Amino acid sequence: MAAPPAHSQSLRRRSALPAWASLLLRVALAFGLIAIGVAVNWLDRAGLKDNADGVVSFPDVIYFTVITIATVGYGDIVPVTERARLFDAFALTPIRLFVWLIFLGTAYDFFLRGLLERARMSVIQRNLSGHVIVAGHGASGAEAVAELVRTGLSPRKIVVIDERPQALKAAEACGAIVLDGDATRDQTLQAARIDRARAVVVAAGRDDTSILIVLTARRLAPKAAIGVVIASEDNEALARQAGADTVINPASFAGLLLASSTHGAHLADYLTDLAGCHGEVVLRERPVSPAEAGQPLSAIITGRGLRIQRGPRAIDFWEPEAKRLEPGDLILEVVPRG
pLDDT digits (tens, 9 = 90+) for 263-289: 777 777 777 777 665 667 778 889 999
- Give the residue, 235 or 15, on which the prediction is more confident: 235
pLDDT at 4: 38
The pLDDT, as a whole number, for residue 284 is: 84
pLDDT confidence bin for 307, thresholds 50/70/90: very high
The pLDDT, as a whole number, for residue 5 is 39
**pTM of the predicted protein model:** 0.57
- CATH assignment of 129-248? 3.40.50.720
Q: What is the 3-state secondary structure (H, E, C) of the chain?
A: CCCCCCCCCCCCCCCCCCHHHHHHHHHHHHHHHHHHHHHHHHHCHHHEEECCCCCCCHHHHHHHHHHHHHCCCCCCEEECCHHHHHHHHHHHHHHHHHHHHHHHHHHHHHHHHHHHHHHHHHHHHHHCCCCEEEECCCHHHHHHHHHHHHCCCCHHHEEEEECCHHHHHHHHHCCCEEEECCCCCHHHHHHCCHHHCCEEEECCCCHHHHHHHHHHHHHHCCCCEEEEECCCHHHHHHHHHHCCCEEECHHHHHHHHHHHHCCCCCHHHHHHHHHCCCCCEEEEEEECCCCCCCCCHHHCCCCEEEEEEECCEEEECCCHHHHCCCCCCEEEEEEECC
Asked if residue 326 has pLDDT above 90, the reply is: yes
C-alpha 253: how far from its chain's center?
A: 29
Query: Which range is least confidently modeled, 124-128, 182-186, 322-326?
Result: 124-128
Q: What is the mean pLDDT of residues 155-182?
A: 92
pLDDT value of residue 331:
94
Q: What is 19-126's CATH number?
A: 1.10.287.70
Smallest CA-to-CA distance from 321 within 299, 289, 296 is with 296
Segment 305-327 shows an average pLDDT of: 93
Comparing 134 with 97, which gets the higher pLDDT?
A: 134
pLDDT band at 260 (very low <50, low <70, confident <90, very high): low
Span 11-21, average pLDDT: 55
List the one residue out of 280, 252, 144, 247 whose CA is nearest residue 269.
280
Is the model's pLDDT at 177 over the cut of 80? yes
| Contact status, residue 209 vs residue 238, Cβ threshold 8 Å | no
> Does residue 250 surpass a pLDDT of 90?
no
- Cα→Cα distances 95→23, 89, 202, Å: 19, 10, 52
- pLDDT tens across 25-75, in order? 888 888 998 999 999 999 999 999 988 888 899 999 999 998 888 887 788
Per domain, the residue ranges of the chain are 19-126, 129-248, 280-338
Q: Which comes out higher in pLDDT, residue 182 or 281? A: 182
Average pLDDT of the residues in 212-225 = 95
**Residue scoring higher pLDDT (14 or 225):** 225
